[in-house]
A and B are shown apart, each in its own frame.
Chain A
Amino acid sequence: MIYRSLFPRDIFADLDRLQREMQQAFDLSPSIRGFGRGGYPALNVGGTQQSVEIYAFAPGLDPNRIEVNIDRGVLTIEGERPNSLPADEKSAVHINERFAGRFRRVVSLPDDADPGAVNAEYRDGVLHLSIRRRESALPRRIEVK
């Protein structure tokens, strides 16, 4: 990671960064595929009784070029983020922390998620996937006659 800043060093920013790296090292058990550089895209996963909700923090993408696939209960988010760094030699890159290149993240869906009922929306750089749970899996009261 290049951190040769034109701006004078900010001690608080450095401490924050250290803290973030420590958090990544200890709090999260990394998956076998790792998190990629800078953890792109970061994922938040949750659910309600009716649906499974996935938020992928994937800024700077063309929504038409994000690949989302579900195959046998495994959801894959794939794509490529273009590099914003200039190719010419006249500009100097002082900080380069943002992710560029191909990415792929995989989430195992619960058994009751319905791959036929997925709603995907990309807004402000966050991909929100909402996958409905199958009707049959919803809690239901059974009438006793």
Chain B
Amino acid sequence: MTNNVSKTEASRRDAVLPPVDVIEDATGITLYADLPGVSKEQLNLRVEADTLTIEGEVGLTTPDGLQASHAEVSVPRYRRVFTLSKELDAEKIAAEMSHGVLKLRIPKAEHAQPRKVQIRVS
């Protein structure tokens, strides 16, 4: 158990927290995450129980003998973790990657969709 905890801490240390936008509408949640340098193949999306983990490795093609003189991105990895709420349907998450931006659509479960209640007038 202790071993496990220190491992997670170690893996947490060397990752950048990517900026995100989270928008909710009546039928679900849309999440955008900036992951520049991450290709589709290097993106790792996981849902375990109610935890959503977004992880990505930055893959840059660098010439041999490159010496960095100024680096604002010094860790080649992104990671961000969210806790999903119950009404979201994790089975139906749709993901799309375009120019380093991840777009996730997490729909709400059928039973949580808004429904208009008919009122009968007697």
- B96 near A: Cβ within 8 Å? no
Contact between chains at B72 and A39 (CB < 8 Å)? yes
Query: Given A48-B63, A85-B21, A91-B23: A59 and B36 within 8 A (CB)?
Result: yes
Q: Which of B87-105 contact A (CB under 8 A)?
A: 98-101
Interface size class of B (residues with CB under 8 A): 35 or more
Known contacts A47-B69, A91-B23; A16/B17 CB under 8 A: yes
B24 touches A125 (CB 8 A): no
Q: Which B residues touch A84, using CB under 8 A? A: 21, 32
Please give the residue numbers on chain A whose beta carbons come within 8 Å of chain B beta carbons, in ascending order. 5-8, 10, 12-13, 16-17, 20, 28, 35, 38-39, 41-51, 53, 55, 57-61, 63, 84-86, 90-99, 122, 124-126, 128, 130
With A and B bound together, what is the CA distance between A96 and B16 in angstroms? Answer: 17
B6 at the interface (CB under 8 A from A): no
Are the C-beta atoms of A98 and B21 separated by less than 8 Å?
Answer: yes
Given contacts A46-B66, A125-B35, A128-B61, contact A86 B23 (CB under 8 A): yes
| Contact partner, B36, options A46, A126, A130, Cβ 8 Å | A126
Is the pair A86, B25 in contact by a Cβ cutoff of 8 Å? Answer: yes
Does B24 lie within 8 Å of A60, measured CB to CB?
A: no
* B-side contacts of A8, CB under 8 Å: 83
Give bound CA distance, A55 to B81, whole Å. 27
Identify which of B15, B20, B99 contacts A95 (C-beta below 8 A).
B20
Contact of A44 among B24, B72, B101 (CB under 8 A): B72
Chain B CB within 10 Å — which of A43, A46, A93, A128 has the most? A46
B22 touches A59 (CB 8 A): no
Q: Is the CB of A59 within 8 A of B12?
A: no
Pairwise interchain contact A59-B26, C-beta atoms closer than 8 A: no
Q: Contact check, B36 vs A6: say whether CB atoms are below 8 A apart.
A: no
Assembled-state Cα–Cα distance A46/B100 (Å): 22
Q: Which residues of chain B from 2 to 36 have a CB within 8 Å of any chain A CB?
A: 12, 15-17, 19-26, 29, 32, 34-36
Q: Does B85 contact A (CB under 8 A)?
A: yes
Find out whether the CB atom of A94 lies under 8 angstroms from the CB atom of B37.
Answer: no
Min CB distance B59 to A, Å, is: 8
- B69 close to A95 (CB less than 8 A): no
Q: Which residue of B lies closest to A42 (CB)?
A: B72
- Considering the complex, give the chain B residue whose CB is closest to the CB of A94: B22
Cα A81 to Cα B71 in complex, Å, equals 22
User: Other than the known A46-B69, A95-B21, what 10 A-B pairs have Cβ atoms closer than 8 Å?
Assistant: A20-B17, A42-B36, A44-B73, A50-B63, A57-B73, A58-B36, A90-B25, A92-B24, A126-B36, A126-B100
